[in-house]
Amino acid sequence: MKKLSFIVISAILLSGWASSTAAETDRVSDRVIISFKEEIDFELLKEMGAEIHEEFDAISAVSVTLPDKATIQAASSDSSIEYIEENSLVKAAAQNTTWGYRTIKANTASSLGYTGKGVKIAIIDSGINSKHPDLKVAGGVSKVADSSAFTDRNGHGTHVAGVIGAQNNSIGTVGVAPDSQLYSVKVLSANGIGTLEGVVSGIQWAIDQKVDIINMSLTTVNNDQSLRDITKKAYDAGILIVAASGNERESGLYSDVLYPARFPSVIAVGSVSQLNRLSYFSNSGPSQELVAPGENILSSFVDSLTTSQEDYAISEGTSVASPFAAGTFAQYMEAYPHLSNKQLRETIKRAAMDLGTAGRDNKYGNGLVQSLGTKAALFPDLKNNVWYSEPIQKVFDRNIITGLSDGTFRPGATITRAEAITMLGRALNLNKTSTTHHFSDVAKDSFAAGYINSAYELGYIKGVTATKFRPNDPIKRGDMAMILQAAYGLTSTQQTAFTDVPKSMYYYEAIQAAYSSNAVTGYQDNTFRPKNPITRAENAKFMSNLLK
């Protein structure tokens, strides 16, 4: 059976970090604090062979190292000594944010309230230590043959989980999306090795659980068809899939990222240093989509030698970069819950900080992942509290408008005649399946065909000629007023003297009727600009004015 493994470049760093910390702890724990009933007896301390480290005059005490335990026992019976106390360890009641957390501006998004609330993230890895006090695990499954529990005996999955979801509390560190729901999908054993079957099964489980995001900080050199198929199936189901690009850059063996990151349905994430340079280990290539912090990152961990479960470690690798991206997607998913996975993917690509060669490149992809910097409007390219905010929201809530395929709304873009009739059809609940076609230039399988057919039959619209509708032409403001007049039966009760709408023009009565009904408005210079193409925001405003 084919093996699937991840590359842990951090192994030396982890062991070095742990041993240096242990050595420092041992030196400090050898000390004791001796408190005297009256003044500090330095003569007695000298006789005991004490090495004095610190004097505490306020309590007549000293911090010392004594030659051996026998000396400590003998000193404890001296009549001048109040007590002898071990130099116990204390921990800071505070948490630290990593440089990576700040670099992607997760702190800004968090301050705006975007912490991944309601987003389900499956971490397909070595499991997660569900007993870690800095993590909350919503559930999980093991796909490792010799393990029925999804807990972590390796540490890799727990480290990944902390980057995404470490709690915002008084300990350890904080994740990019601490309020997301983490699911532990164990596919790697204690030695960091898994099987193709296990990973495919893990992704299938995530699909069945209807998760929103999958993170895979693992790689394989094999272009396995089953893995390609299952990731596409997950993506088609609306799941965002994020994976590590791999850590073989120094070997020079690969001209692109490894699998599964290389699959089109998966977002490949490389690693950068604190200088925003591609990490010495990070793979890159044509499939590189984003980069994220991946060096010297503190996160939760598993240490079999401790019993407190409150373990942390510093690690590096694209395995660490991938969860930074996954957590950022969770923030955006919370901010824009109506956007599809494909729209969110495009949104984050646009928001990325460009690195290297201007524009997308094979080294950094679209750039460094960036969290939200401002309070989200309905769509990423809209602003809050401007003239179009309420109208667009109103027609969106009625399912009259949707965003474009890239997740934007483009309020200043023009709207086509086909799009205008589609919105009108949704507002009036016209028959969108009408198959009586009247215009030769409207494709029968067009998204607007049924609405155009229905609107024509009801007398709401006319063709440009007897057989042509020109569905892709921008619709003009004057023509839109005529359609609204016909569709809603608008009548004129008052006249307004738009300086650019003479009575001789064919759209004069329609504009007057639409204006009288508060359906349309002009500009501050008392013009209507009837020959100008209507923008998407303007059309939303007109449509919202007619909604009851």
The residues assigned a catalytic role are 125, 156, 319
The secondary structure element, H or E, covering residue 81 is strand 81-86
How far apart are alpha carbons 321 and 103 in whole angstroms?
A: 12
The CA-to-CA distance between both ends of the chain, in Å, stands at 63
Length of the chain: 548
Q: Cα-atom radius of gyration of the chain, to the nearest Å?
A: 33
Look-up: residue for tokens 């063996």? 253
Distances in whole angstroms, Cα of residue 464 to Cα of each of 13, 440, 476:
71, 12, 13
Beta sheet of 51-56, edge-to-edge order: 51-56, 61-65, 32-36, 81-86
Q: In the Cβ-directed half-sphere of 390, how many Cα atoms lie within 13 Å?
A: 4
Phi, psi of 431 (to 5 degrees): -75, 110
Other beta carbons within 10 angstroms of residue 92's beta carbon come to: 8
For the stretch 344-351, contacts whose Cβ atoms lie closer than 8 Å and that sit 24 or more positions apart, written own/partner, are 344/240, 344/407, 345/240, 345/267, 346/405, 346/406, 346/407, 347/380, 347/406, 347/407, 347/408, 348/290, 349/289, 349/290, 350/380, 350/406, 351/380
How far apart are alpha carbons 145 and 195 in whole angstroms?
A: 10
CA 434 and chain centroid, separation:
41
Look-up: residue for tokens 């340079």? 277
Query: With contact defined as beta carbons under 8 Å apart, do 221 and 259 qualify?
Result: yes
Q: Name which of 157, 216, 219, 190 is nearest 7 in CA terms.
A: 219
Distances in whole angstroms, Cα of residue 135 to Cα of each of 149, 153, 181, 298, 304:
17, 16, 10, 14, 17
For the stretch 358-367, contacts whose Cβ atoms lie closer than 8 Å and that sit 24 or more positions apart, written own/partner, are 362/284, 362/285, 362/286, 362/288, 363/278, 363/284, 363/288, 364/270, 364/272, 364/278, 364/284, 364/288, 364/291, 365/268, 365/270, 365/284, 365/288, 365/289, 365/290, 365/291, 366/289, 366/290, 367/290, 367/291
How far apart are alpha carbons 453 and 18 in whole angstroms?
A: 72
Query: With contact defined as beta carbons under 8 Å apart, do 61 and 36 qualify?
Result: yes
CA 306 and chain centroid, separation:
33
Q: Name which of 1, 2, 5, 72 is nearest 32 in CA terms.
A: 72
Beta sheet of 267-272, edge-to-edge order: 137-142, 181-186, 120-125, 213-216, 240-244, 267-272, 288-293
